[in-house]
Amino acid sequence: MHLASIRLVTNQIDRLVVFYTVLTGVTPNQPAPVFAEFRFGAVALAISDESVIKQFNAGAVVAGANRCALIEFEVDDVEAVLMRLPERTKVVMQPTTMPWGNRSLLIHDPDGNVINVFSRPQG
């Protein structure tokens, strides 16, 4: 078994696609207006409109209701990511060095999903 993807469900797919394109610098594959996928090696971050879930997945997910998971991106320079965030991005925690050495920035995407942008200690 391997982790294939994490999917975010939204009512504002265009806004989330733009946000994650700016955040990651990755151009998504968007085979339909209601679905986009950002590839990171063997794992993907997928985004779909809630209408897809209602039509094909029995309404099992509610758009924008996540408050129990972190989406985490490892980067070389946390402060550089902070400087290029889309305007009006909610910063939950400014860059902070954690007790285990990671440098971490917590933000919300436009739907309120929590994102941890972090770097590991050098050396």
Mean pLDDT of the chain: 91
Is this structure's pTM higher than 0.75?
A: yes
Task: Name the band, by pLDDT with cuts 50, 70 and 90, for residue 48.
Answer: very high
Burial of 115: CB neighbours in 10 Å, binned 0-12, 13-18, 19+: buried
CB neighbours of 59 closer than 8 A, spacing ≥ 6? 53
- The residue-averaged pLDDT of 53-58 equals 74
Q: Domain ranges in the chain?
A: 5-119
CATH topology of domain 5-119: 2,3-Dihydroxybiphenyl 1,2-Dioxygenase; domain 1 (3.10.180)
Secondary structure of residue 18 in the 3-state scheme: helix
Average pLDDT over residues 59-77: 83
Phi, psi values for residue 68, rounded to 5°: -130, 5
Q: What integer pLDDT is reported at residue 64 of this predicted model?
A: 75
pLDDT for the residue 1: 82
Distance from chain centroid for Cα 35: 15
